[in-house]
Amino acid sequence: MDFKKLANQYKDELLDNVLPFWLENSQDHEYGGYFTCLDREGRVFDTDKFIWLQGREVWMFSMLYNKVEKRKEWLDCAVQGGEFLKRYGHDGDYNWYFSLDRSGRPLVEPYNIFSYTFAAMAFGQLSLATGNQEYADIARKTFDIILSKVDNPKGKWNKLHPGTRNLKNFALPMILCNLALEIEHLLPGDYLEQTMETCIHEVMDVFHRPELGGIIVENVDTDGHLVDCFEGRQVTPGHAIEAMWFIMDLGKRLNRPELIEKAKNITLTMLEYGWDKEYGGIYYFMDRNGYPPQQLEWDQKLWWVHIETLISLLKGYQLTGDKQCMEWFEKVHNYTWTHFKDKEHSEWYGYLNRKGEVLLPLKGGKWKGCFHVPRGLYQCWKMLNSIDEKSHLC
């Protein structure tokens, strides 16, 4: 495998195709913030603004400014989005709404914890890019609120009846694994270490189930037990695989090679489990007992699932040298670039049917924004470069 050529493929796609699409089409120069509902050619088809996608785009352009190149247009894009979020995105006490109209008026209350997590990520990176203490304070305050809500993320907007079937979800400890490292520069050492250890325990000891062949489940009860219901049987391969590169990063940060090895092995287990043997690609949702999943979109192939898998496989190979990771990487890489990349227009498709045919031609919407594609391209570019350099030294 030509690692240098692959690295350039990911780099060129990021810098020459994907980032220009968002810079040119997503910025709302009249009201601030970003449009995310963009059709195949980048035209806006809805002007509502979703806080978690606003935060993700602020984070993306801040991160690229910090780690790739000090491009003024990247910083300007991040700052204008950050200022829109600071002004309109929360209720005054950093309870972050789910969505706003174009001008910034709230549409949906702060029920979604991921509005908070991506606001914290956004202002953490933006504080590094600008040196602005106010941005750092927003990130830290928001992080404290997130930790206070761990046991009931939706708060008063939780629609479940209390006391009957209390479940906890994999997504929050998963994202906290990444968020803790993202805002490490803002947290006291002991506080950070405690948060990291708690997240690692939840992901690797509670949701990871050796008795089920080593897969990760999406929901357990509050005591960590399996539950036999739709939610309790749900497996989301993409979530589990994405979480494993967060865990590998923590393993590297904490100098715990055994944690990296375990995360790499779970990546391979989940990929084997979630791969569609007939049509290729990774299923969106599965049922651990093989029953029909409740989600009607269970067999769709989604962009973020495949891109996050590429990151985890490369990271697994980079950190452990396991050739199985590279064999799977080649397979997933070929599927991803063949099916999700739009060969006529910029950016990538997000939604395919089971056979790999384009289901929706949009490039952004309520759930897809400026995040997984550019973050994945950036991560893969940097890791492939590193692997290439190491191969020349050997």
Of 107, 301, 171, give the one whose Cα is nearest residue 96: 107
Q: Quick one: pLDDT at residue 394?
A: 63
Distance CA 383, CA 1 (A): 14
* Tokens 């067999």, residue located: 299
Q: Quick one: pLDDT at residue 236?
A: 98
More confident residue, 159 or 60: 60
pLDDT at 154 over 90: no
pLDDT at 14 over 70: yes
Q: What percent of the chain is predicted at pLDDT more than 90?
A: 94
Structure tokens at 321: 């040298």
pLDDT at 162 over 90: no
List pLDDT tens digits, range 333-358: 999 999 999 999 999 999 999 999 99
213 conformational bin, left if phi > 0, alpha if psi -120 to 50, beta if neither: left
Judge contact between 47 and 35, C-beta under 8 A. Answer: yes
The arithmetic mean of pLDDT across residues 254-271, rounded, is 98
The arithmetic mean of pLDDT across residues 103-128, rounded, is 97
Q: Quick one: pLDDT at residue 298?
A: 98
Judge contact between 100 and 49, C-beta under 8 A. Answer: yes
Average pLDDT of the chain is 97
Distance CA 191, CA 40 (A): 44
List pLDDT tens digits, range 167-181: 999 999 999 999 999
Q: Quick one: pLDDT at residue 393?
A: 74
Q: Quick one: pLDDT at residue 156?
A: 85
Structure tokens at 259: 């944690």
Judge contact between 126 and 78, C-beta under 8 A. Answer: yes
The CA-atom distances, in angstroms, between 30 and each of 80, 84, 96, 103, 366 are: 11, 11, 22, 9, 21
List pLDDT tens digits, range 368-392: 999 999 999 999 999 999 999 988 7
The arithmetic mean of pLDDT across residues 52-71, rounded, is 98
> pLDDT-derived band of residue 307, with 50, 70 and 90 as boundaries?
very high
Q: Quick one: pLDDT at residue 269?
A: 98
Q: Quick one: pLDDT at residue 112?
A: 95
Distance CA 250, CA 339 (A): 32
List own/partner pairs for 131-140 with CB under 8 A and 24 or more apart: 134/86, 135/82, 135/86, 136/186, 138/86, 138/94, 139/183, 139/186, 140/183, 140/186, 140/187
DSSP-derived secondary structure for 57-118 = HHHHHHHHHHHT---HHHHHHHHHHHHHHHHHSB-SSS-B-SEE-TTS-EEE-S--HHHHHH
Q: What phi and psi, each to the nearest 5 degrees, are found at residue 302?
A: -110, 145
pLDDT at 41 over 70: yes
